[in-house]
Amino acid sequence: MIDRGKRNVLGVRIDAVDYEAAVGRIVAAARARQPLTVSALAVHGLMTGVLDAAQRYRLNRFDLLTPDGQPVRWALNWLHRTALPDRVYGPELMLRLCQATADEGLPIFLFGGTADLLAALSDGLTRRFPALRIAGMRPSLFRRLTAAERDEVVAAIRSSGAALAFIGLGCPRQEVWAYEFREALSMPLIAVGAAFAFHAGRLSQAPPALQARGLEWLYRLMHEPRRLWRRYLLLNPLYLTLLLMQFTGVGRFDPDRAARPTEDLLYG
């Protein structure tokens, strides 16, 4: 098990952990019904914090930010010599957590996506993990919630008896959601992004060889060029440039230089 604590990557504190450590921390919090905010960050997710001071503030108050993308793991190893042998990929982390919660009889909640997506996801997960208990599901409204709707969401998740919730709203909305609902729900909230679509069979994952080489972004760009070209063709070069600046000391990226959000966004 590897857990070397948080390390500064471009002003965002990423946890140098492996799967075993991440799953252990999350399941322990679920067992104790304690709040724990978790996100698996690839380059795009990390860069939302680099470019937005309010999002940087939110991310740096997460309990656990795992290195989802190989380039994020490489940055930890390059900048901080963490010697991580593998990333902690959100879709894989979700599967390992489903297995662990099924083994322990801890119910889960699925929040985000459409009703059809959640039905397919639920079916796929329960076929894969027959002992998995899905306490409830709730699709996204794809807009900001009113205060009354927020209270309704909190009541629905809490009354379901779930011990943890997977959040699939897409980056950065899912991280904003986990940050804002942390105390109200008092359970692990795991932002897993495209994992819902992958495990529902709606989106194909990159071949393992491309994933290992940090080229998952290229596979996704080829499949969704109109939606993703700005994300990858603009952010990836900027990410590499800023990493070089941090490594050489030309640029300083202070995690504490952030702006506390002035209002709740209440995504849902």
Note the pTM of the prediction, 2 decimals. 0.92
216 pLDDT above the threshold of 80: no
pLDDT of residue 56: 98
- HSE-up of residue 238 (Cα within 13 Å, Cβ side): 14
8 pLDDT above the threshold of 80: yes
Rounded average pLDDT over 175-198: 94
Average pLDDT, the chain: 92
The reply to whether omega before 71 is within 30° of 0 (cis) is no
All structural domains of the chain, each given as residue ranges with its CATH number in brackets, are 3-199 (3.40.50)
pLDDT of residue 210: 62
How far apart CA 153 and CA 168 sit, in angstroms, is 15
Longest C-alpha distance within the chain, in Å?
53
pLDDT grade, residue 162 (50/70/90)? very high
How far apart CA 113 and CA 227 sit, in angstroms, is 17
Percent of the chain with pLDDT strictly greater than 90:
77
Where is average pLDDT lowest: 8-17, 156-165, 226-235, 257-266?
226-235
How far apart CA 68 and CA 90 sit, in angstroms, is 6
Rounded average pLDDT over 211-224: 68
pLDDT of residue 226: 72
Amino acid at 92: E
pLDDT grade, residue 236 (50/70/90)? confident
How far apart CA 71 and CA 88 sit, in angstroms, is 12
pLDDT of residue 205: 73
